[in-house]
Structure 1
Amino acid sequence: MSKLLADTLRIGQIKFTNALPICHFIDRNSATHRFFPGAPAELNRWLARGEIDAGLVSSFAYAQLADDFVALRGLSVSSRGPVGSIFLFSKRPIEELSGCRVSLTSHSASSVSLLRILLGEIGVTDVSYVTEEPDLQTMLQRSEAALLIADHALEGSVRDHGLLTYDLGEEWYTRTGHSMTFAVCAVPKRMVEENPEKARAIQALFLEGKRKGYADMESVIGAAMERMGQTRAFWRDYFGKLIHDLDEELAVGANAYFDAAYRHGLLAKPVKLELWGDES
């Protein structure tokens, strides 16, 4: 039996508040699972290196590893319009960033690629991209704009900084009419083929966490407030923008994103989202 199937499964999960409706109530006491929370970019590296076996990871990382992974049905971090926590903060209008330096958060893959796609589609050219730790003030010392995601973006969105703020989920939806999927729950095709019960167990674990989270959003909101402050109304509005499902309709948006990433040279070959599993 392969090591992947014989040992305790190492499952990655996004550590930010955008995943709380799925992850807050997940049972972490199972002797067969170990959880590794991290930023999307960390999870992507762990998955690519085989340091985790499966998990809720960046959709762009899934696309890069699509030959070897499937996405579990019913689980994602998506939006259909504004996402509320992926922002480009800019000193000038987005259409005027040609020839400028733009700072990218080191914690992202999907959103970094999405920004490159959007700027390319707008016609912004000759951008000098630099990857930095996610600190808005530091990033903007030398750059005209900065991309932040998740909790860092939420913190930036409530500050009085006088910058133009662009929600990338909204920009994508406005320009394409598609939903945007930022993260999926990926499991190896080898697991699905050799031991589908383990893949189903991972899916059931996350789906049960999501069911409990949506059934008790006040507790999820309380956890977000404890972590980051703000009001209950703030978090109700924020979580109301997010979609944590994944089905054929959302796959259309994900595939449009993958197609655009390939078209802009960010993926080496065309990719389609392969859904697996039954939500029931």
Structure 2
Amino acid sequence: MLRIGKIDYTNTLPVFHYFHVEDFAGEVTMIPQVPAVLNRAMREGKVDLGPISSFAYGENYGKYLLLPDLSVSALGPVGSIFLFTKAPLESYGRMRVALTSTSATSVNLLKILFHFFLRTEVEYETMEPELEEMLVDHDGALLIGDDALRAGWGSHPYQVYDLGDLWHRFTGKWMTFAVWAVREEAYLENPSLLERVYGAFLASKERSRREIDPIIRTAQERAGGSEEAWRRYFAGLSHELEAPQLDGLSTYYDFAVQLGLLPVQPEMRLVSHLSYHR
């Protein structure tokens, strides 16, 4: 049985919406969770395949293989990874920032942005993703996924910074927040099943480009928001993993190594011989 992790956020809907698990009856089981929990489950061997934080891949790249053409990426604003602050960023020399407990890539991206580009000294504290509670004793709060979307749509007095936008402004590169990876041992046990599952994910991604309306309706049911807001959001996301996304990810890893967040530059270990391609 291939255990597939499913990030329980709307940003992965285009890859999962038209993936029919019933086509793999008795072969596949789906495990929905937030990124931090799935990262740990993959590391511990409790999940075999699925989207994980790019940072989690970097920490454990020796155990995993990347699936080509699948990611959650953006060139500029990503629309669901926000830093909320009580005052403009340029007014701070020192800050206290509350970090969401549900992410790894975005938390470390924020640390990279503050250290290398914003030149701000920051004290961090990890908290549950509740915006008002996070900002009681902090100058800023980082939220991701549907938590960030709902907070961004709400009425509040805070400054809002999109981390994808900041990254692109300072580096000019893509930012890849999540990748689809498979534990190498799981792939070696049943490569033919992995190839069929991979094909189904790519087919879902391609179909979502043609038939986005059902995905928008599902997103509205789960997180609220207007049709127009969701249409803009999905238009700003990319689920590709090709040379431009890999280049941006390599730059992210390079900064992570310089800052001591990762011990070495991770190798991009793609499953290069999968036969299903667009």
- Measured against the shorter chain, the TM-score band is over 0.9
Secondary structure, aligned partner of 1:161: coil
- Give me the whole-angstrom Cα distance separating, in 2, the residues matched to 1:131 and 1:201: 39
Please say if 1:262 is aligned against 2:257.
yes
Q: 2:21 matched to which residue of 1?
A: 28
From 46, 59, 63, the equivalent of 2:54 is 59
Number of aligned residue pairs: 273
Matched residue type, 2:205: K
Q: 2:123 matched to which residue of 1?
A: 128
Q: 1:4 matched to which residue of 2?
A: none
Question: What is the 5 A alignment of 1:226-237?
Answer: 226-237=221-232
Q: Is the 8 A contact 1:173 1:180 kept in 2?
A: yes
Alpha carbons of structure 1 residues 80 and 213: separation in structure 2 relative to 1, 3 Å:
same
In the superposition, the TM-score normalised over structure 1's length comes to 0.93
Q: 1:5 matched to which residue of 2?
A: none
Residue 279 of structure 1: how far off its partner (Å): 2.5
Q: Is the 8 A contact 2:76 2:167 kept in 1?
A: yes
Matched residue type, 1:20: L
Question: What is the 5 A alignment of 1:162-173?
Answer: 162-173=157-168
CA RMSD of aligned residues (A): 1.5
Q: 1:10 matched to which residue of 2?
A: 3
- Give me the whole-angstrom Cα distance separating, in 2, the residues matched to 1:236 and 1:203: 26
Q: 1:204 matched to which residue of 2?
A: 199
Residue 268 of structure 1: how far off its partner (Å): 1.4
- Give me the whole-angstrom Cα distance separating, in 2, the residues matched to 1:10 and 1:98: 46
Matched residue type, 2:237: L
Please say if 1:19 is aligned against 2:17.
no
Q: Is the 8 A contact 1:73 1:279 kept in 2?
A: no
Secondary structure, aligned partner of 1:275: coil
Q: 2:277 matched to which residue of 1?
A: 279
Residue 212 of structure 1: how far off its partner (Å): 2.4
Q: Is the 8 A contact 1:71 1:273 kept in 2?
A: yes
Please say if 1:150 is aligned against 2:145.
yes
- Give me the whole-angstrom Cα distance separating, in 2, the residues matched to 1:96 and 1:117: 19
Q: Is the 8 A contact 2:70 2:239 kept in 1?
A: yes
From 76, 79, 85, the equivalent of 1:81 is 76
Q: 2:219 matched to which residue of 1?
A: 224
Runs of 4+ in 1 over 4 A off after TM superposition: none
- Give me the whole-angstrom Cα distance separating, in 2, the residues matched to 1:49 and 1:188: 10
Q: Is the 8 A contact 1:72 1:275 kept in 2?
A: yes
Residue 124 of structure 1: how far off its partner (Å): 3.4
Question: What is the 5 A alignment of 1:38-49?
Answer: 38-49=33-44
From 167, 179, 188, the equivalent of 1:184 is 179
- State the Cα deviation string for residues 79-119 of structure 1 (Å, max 9, x = none): 00000000000012224444321100001110001000000
Matched residue type, 2:56: A
- Give me the whole-angstrom Cα distance separating, in 1, the residues matched to 2:46 and 2:93: 39
Matched residue type, 1:224: A
Matched residue type, 2:16: C
Q: Is the 8 A contact 1:97 1:144 kept in 2?
A: no
When structure 1 is superposed on structure 2, of 228-237 and 166-175 the one drifting more is 228-237
Secondary structure, aligned partner of 2:167: helix
Secondary structure, aligned partner of 1:148: strand
- Give me the whole-angstrom Cα distance separating, in 2, the residues matched to 1:134 and 1:77: 21
In the superposition, the TM-score normalised over structure 2's length comes to 0.94
Unmatched 5+ residue regions in structure 2? none
